[in-house]
Amino acid sequence: EDFQDTRLSAYNKKYQGHVIHEAIDILHDLGIVIVGDFIASPEYDEKDFEALENFIAAHRIEIPVISVLTPIPGTPLYKKMKKDIIISDLDYYTFTNAVTKTKMPAAIFYKTFADLVKRLHERPHKPN
C-alpha cells in the first residue's frame, strides 16, 4: 500500500516501511513473484509519484498495481475523510478516481497517475 512510515501510520497499518523492505528481500530470495499493491494518495505531488516509481523499480516489484486512495462508505477511513469528499456518486468509487480534492490540479494528478501506470506496465515483468 505504501512504503513511507507517515502514510502507513495514516492508513492505520501496524508495521513500518523497513518491514516491507525485509519482506521484499525474503520473497526475492525465495524466487516468489511480487504483486505489489500501492495506494496513490490524493495528497501526492510529482515527487511522491516519482518516489513510488523509484521504489517499485529499485525493489524489482514484478507486478505493480496502483490504486487511488478511495474512502469506502462504512469504513473508518470514510468516516475520517468524509468532510473532504467531493464526489459522492458511488459510480466513481473505482479506485482510479480521486473522490477527494487532490493536492495537484486534478488534470495533472490524473495524467501523472496514468503515465506512471502506463510506464510500469510497459516494463517487462521479470522474476528475480
Return d(Cα 57, Cα 67) in angstroms, integer. 17
- CATH at 27: 3.30.750.200
Residue 73 placed within a domain: yes
Please tell me the total number of residues recorded for the chain in this structure.
Answer: 128
**29, part of any domain:** yes
Range of the domain at 93: 5-122
In a domain, 74, yes or no: yes
- What total of structural domains would you count in the chain? 1
Q: pLDDT 10s per residue in the chain (128 long)? A: 566 656 555 655 565 666 777 888 899 999 999 999 999 999 999 999 999 999 999 889 999 999 999 999 999 989 999 999 999 999 999 999 999 999 999 999 999 999 999 999 887 666 55
Q: Looking up cell 515527487, which residue turns up? A: 47
Task: Evaluate whether residue 92 is within a structural domain.
Answer: yes
Residue 128 forms part of a structural domain = no
pTM of the full predicted structure?
0.82
Q: Please check whether residue 79 lies inside any domain of the structure.
A: yes
**35 in any annotated domain:** yes
Q: Is 109 in contact with 44 (CB distance < 8 Å)?
A: yes
Distance, in Å, from the CA atom of 20 to the CA atom of 121, rounded to the nearest integer, reads: 22
Residue 102 CA to residue 119 CA, distance in Å, equals 22
Residue 85: φ, ψ to 5°? -70, 130
d(CA 87, CA 37): 24
Please check whether residue 64 lies inside any domain of the structure. Answer: yes
